[in-house]
Amino acid sequence: MTALDALRAALDSLRANPLRSALTMLGIVIGVAAVIAMVAVGAGARDQVLRQIASLGTNLILVGQGSIARGGVKLGAGTASSLTEDDALAVLAEIPDVMVTAPSVRWGLQIVAGNQNWGTVLFGITPDYMDARDWTVEAGRGLSDDDVAQANKVVVLGRTVVRSLFGGGDPIGQPVRVFSTPLTVVGVLGEKGQNTQGQDQDDVIFVPLSTAKRNIPGMAKSNPRFIHSMVVKMRDGSDMAEAQAQLRDLLRQRHRLITDQDDDFWMRDLSEVSATRDASSRALSFLLAAVAAVSLLVGGIGIMNIMLVSVTERTREIGLRLAIGARRRDILIQFLIESTTLSLIGAAVGVVLGIATAAGVAALAGWPTLIRLDSVVLAVAVSGVVGVFFGLYPARRAARLNPIEALRHE
């Protein structure tokens, strides 16, 4: 019996009971569709998270000014004013693998343009900051070293701020005001969208660090060199944990902290965020795969059930085939091909349904989905294995029938 003969016999037998075949396939159809759709949703979500994290930069360490403790009372983040521009210079000079340090100050305020005003966050920065956080300039120019050196009264606006103050108009060259300081808009930042916490990253304005300190009331305080935070950008592939340890040692030493004193700064490594996000989406994918595996298992049991019924119903046919010269192997292969055909047709329908479901989820719920070829291949392969595995017992039962008794079967 050739494979073609066996396939033809299998299709013929499946056509004999179309409704029964369709219902039997349903388990596999749902299982495969679930694998593909769920993996697509999981992969889409993961892909989005990874892209957001990549937009933050994974080789960055954020260092911020911490709390000071007075008599055991901790006064909260930012109460210390120990972090300085000199710390940033020292970090760049003394820690290997540091590419850039970008000191900054930040202040929440109102920005006014003509008769419009908008509450936003001002960052006083150096040009390195834009580089470290991967900011691009969409129109006009970014801040230059010259702007910082001369404390030029210029500002670069985020997209959201531009939309709020100027609507569709061109902001370049326009005057704006923060507190009582007039600034000239020299550039517009490229759009970054939301961050992983859902905050609008484009609701910012950038001014030179020196300009911020000189013109914002109360900013310079007692220490004109103070900063709120700095971004430390490491060379790609650096050991982030090692870099953090070195940073901590250096800053503690510069701030003259004694052994059992708490840090007066905080430190955050964005690769930690990315690892956590990655792990949670991986766990989600695993859970979905487990659900899909269970439904494939149930589908397989359905196939076994129907194949056992089929073997019983076709006992005389099996007897006849044995009498006219089928070897036991021929009968075994015929029934195995039948169960595998059943599961593979189910898998094919499931692939179509799964892709359609993923597309539907993307369209209706607005979730990002990503059809992964490996999930399609895996689901189809597992269905084939399910067909063979759960078809094996019924097929062996058919092949072991005694032809004399099988021919007499009513």
CB under 8 A: which stretch of 2-10, 25-33, 72-80, 148-156 binds another protein? 2-10
Q: What angle do CA 392, 397, 399 make, to 5 degrees?
A: 90
Alpha-carbon 262 to chain mean position: 35
Closest CB to another protein among residues 5, 249: 5
Tokens of 262: 């708490």
CB under 8 A: which stretch of 109-117, 121-129, 263-271, 316-324 binds another protein? 316-324
Q: How many CA atoms within 13 Å lie on the side-chain side of 152? A: 17
Closest CB to another protein among residues 214, 397: 397
Q: Among residues 221, 325, 366, 373, which is the contact residue for another protein, using CB under 8 A?
A: 325
- Asked if 241 interacts with another protein (CB under 8 A), we say no
Closest CB to another protein among residues 322, 380: 322
Contact predicate 56/270, CB 8 Å = yes
Contact predicate 59/133, CB 8 Å = no
Closest CB to another protein among residues 12, 86: 12
Alpha-carbon 254 to chain mean position: 38
Site string for another protein, 162-201 (x = CB under 8 A): ----------------------------------------
Closest CB to another protein among residues 282, 327: 327
Distant-in-sequence, close-in-space partners of 55: CB < 8 Å, separation ≥ 6: 134, 192, 193, 195
Q: Among residues 191, 316, 363, 381, which is the contact residue for another protein, using CB under 8 A?
A: 316
Q: Among residues 85, 147, 317, 338, which is the contact residue for another protein, using CB under 8 A?
A: 317
Contacts to another protein from residues 12-41, by CB under 8 A: 12, 16
DSSP state of 262: P
- Distance (Å, whole) CA 307 – CA 322: 19
Strand runs (DSSP E) across 158-295, as ranges?
A: 175-178, 181-189, 204-208, 229-234, 265-269
Q: How many CA atoms within 13 Å lie on the side-chain side of 356? A: 9
- Asked if 409 interacts with another protein (CB under 8 A), we say no
- Asked if 87 interacts with another protein (CB under 8 A), we say no
- Asked if 320 interacts with another protein (CB under 8 A), we say yes
Residues engaged in binding another protein (CB under 8 A): 1-2, 4-5, 12, 16, 316-317, 319-330, 403-404, 407
